[in-house]
Structure 1
């Protein structure tokens, strides 16, 4: 065996830069640097006076169909005047690069770079504008369908809990997650779907995937989790993140109010969609905890253990669940 097999690798930025210069016909003095390594590896490409972003997908994370559908969605949104980071073709007119990494074939896509800052602590008026932008996007993606994942109860709740059992021994935390799952599944099953809009969702809109320019223009990027589902999933996730980031309850409530008002200045939320927001928020906690578990090798971390999972369940999931008194209607 000449090389020991690996499950995840970080490619040489020097050699990747050489490849990108050749494939995209970039200036020879272009520079590529790693911004973030996770399920995807994100590189900043400085090319003359312009910046680009190259996303390198982890092994078996997305199929060619998944990636092509994301690219198609981004082109559609960009053509519809929604400011997003969209894919860039190489010199041959192709969007997707195929790289033979040590672990196997990995795909890569170059994206436009959106100017602006990620604002961890944003003023209330900005949340109104973000809500309006999400509303505009949903008007465009309502009733649209792409050939990617559909966010069903199985994807959001069933599969993550099965994965979670690898890290949680029987006890209070697992008992809570099983009880919460049962309640959430019942709420989703009993939902009045005639008053719930469906279409294509981003599923990861929060401050880390939003850029705000000095002039106040807002851009959305990283549609890696885009798929089909209830549009209010995006709303629920943003509200969830506000609760996670803003610990002052009065300030948090005001920001949530501004965000929802901004959204409804463009398109209304039905009473049923509003009712379901906290339930769907908790369901998304389940989903993303499942992602962390199932893609453990990509994070290369030492903190992901039973103690971490217990804190995640208690400090984040259960706190948000109890905040809306969902326990009062949890079935026995």
Structure 2
């Protein structure tokens, strides 16, 4: 009796073998395509091999991004490619289209084929790497100055208010970590709503530049990818988020300071930071980390449920506090 019931799906992982046949027909004129799963995270990523050539296929989770939002992400990437900036860029199919629609069990999902970023992910970045990353980030910001994407605008509501509201659906307001987040929200409000940040240069931002979203080859060439969180906002958000990642990966904070310095020097060799931006690096880093807690809450059903617990929340908030303590931030003290 039960076997006669047809169940809907809220989340599926598409078979690499089926995708290989699909990609062969639509992109590679019937050539033999090898396809394997790279990652099933926020979206699903597959590695495609045709002989010695490699490509990356991203299959967006259903209803995660609209077609308009994906179009804007790809427009951003193609603009960066045109400017000669090293990014993984989208590739058109046989119909000269960038976005494909796949009939998945849960409904239509979008898929895009990207160029392969040569090199490897390097968790412990050297000083030379940090300098190059700084130059690359600044080049992206110069290219996207005042660029307006039809995507999210990263402001106080998106970075703090909405994420913390989403967390209330999982944790009690009186949970110690939630009480700290409430203080963080109150602390950040005057900074992210101030004239100081409104005077910071804005444009299209990546918002997720860290070692896991770049490959570095043997010559030190850095290629960025995964612009899934790109949107509109002050450039200092990208600068701050990279520095927070660098901070948490370096146990020796003297080494962190040295790498942060060469990163910032690389960045400023391309685009000098305004004093207002420098003054907001510590607060901006906190804001982006709060934002990503909200992402984990929003994607509990199909991604974060394996780790999204009260202990994890305590750990994550602890990381924010470590960064804040290092920069002598007291969440009980608000901006005057």
Unmatched tracts of structure 1, length 5 or more: none
**Which of 57, 69, 91 is the equivalent residue of 2:72?**
69
Unmatched tracts of structure 2, length 5 or more: none
Point out the more displaced range, 103-112 or 305-314: 305-314
Structure 1 residue 302, shift from structure 2 partner: 2.7
Determine the structure 1 residue equivalent to 2:189. 185
Structure 1 residue 2, shift from structure 2 partner: 4.0
**Which of 270, 278, 285 is the equivalent residue of 2:282?**
278
**Which of 12, 31, 34 is the equivalent residue of 1:31?**
34
Determine the structure 2 residue equivalent to 1:265. 269
**Which of 81, 85, 98 is the equivalent residue of 1:82?**
85
- The answer to whether the aligner puts 1:92 opposite 2:101 as a matched pair is no
Structure 1 residue 249, shift from structure 2 partner: 0.6
**Which of 245, 256, 259 is the equivalent residue of 1:255?**
259
**Which of 319, 323, 326 is the equivalent residue of 2:326?**
323
- Which residues of 2 match residues 1-332 of structure 1 at below 5 A? 2-169=5-172, 170-193=174-197, 195-299=199-303, 301-314=305-318, 316-327=319-330, 330-331=333-334
Structure 1 residue 307, shift from structure 2 partner: 2.0
Contact map agreement 2:202 2:232 (CA 8 A) in 1: yes
Contact map agreement 2:188 2:287 (CA 8 A) in 1: yes
Give me the whole-angstrom Cα distance separating, in 2, the residues matched to 1:40 and 1:296: 13
Structure 1 residue 28, shift from structure 2 partner: 3.3
Deviation track 1:222-261 (CA, whole Å, cap 9, x = no partner) reads: 1111110001111011011101111111111111111001
Deviation track 1:135-166 (CA, whole Å, cap 9, x = no partner) reads: 11111111111111111111100000011112
RMSD of aligned C-alpha atoms? 1.6
Contact map agreement 2:90 2:113 (CA 8 A) in 1: yes
TM-score of the pair, normalised by structure 1: 0.96
Give me the whole-angstrom Cα distance separating, in 1, the residues matched to 2:65 and 2:327: 35
Structure 1 residue 194, shift from structure 2 partner: 5.9
Structure 1 residue 297, shift from structure 2 partner: 2.0
| Counterparts in 2 of 1:288 and 1:193: CA distance versus 1, 3 Å | closer
Point out the more displaced range, 190-199 or 41-50: 190-199
Give me the whole-angstrom Cα distance separating, in 2, the residues matched to 1:234 and 1:48: 37
Contact map agreement 1:13 1:33 (CA 8 A) in 2: yes
State the number of aligned residues.
Answer: 331
**3-state secondary structure, aligned to 1:45:** strand
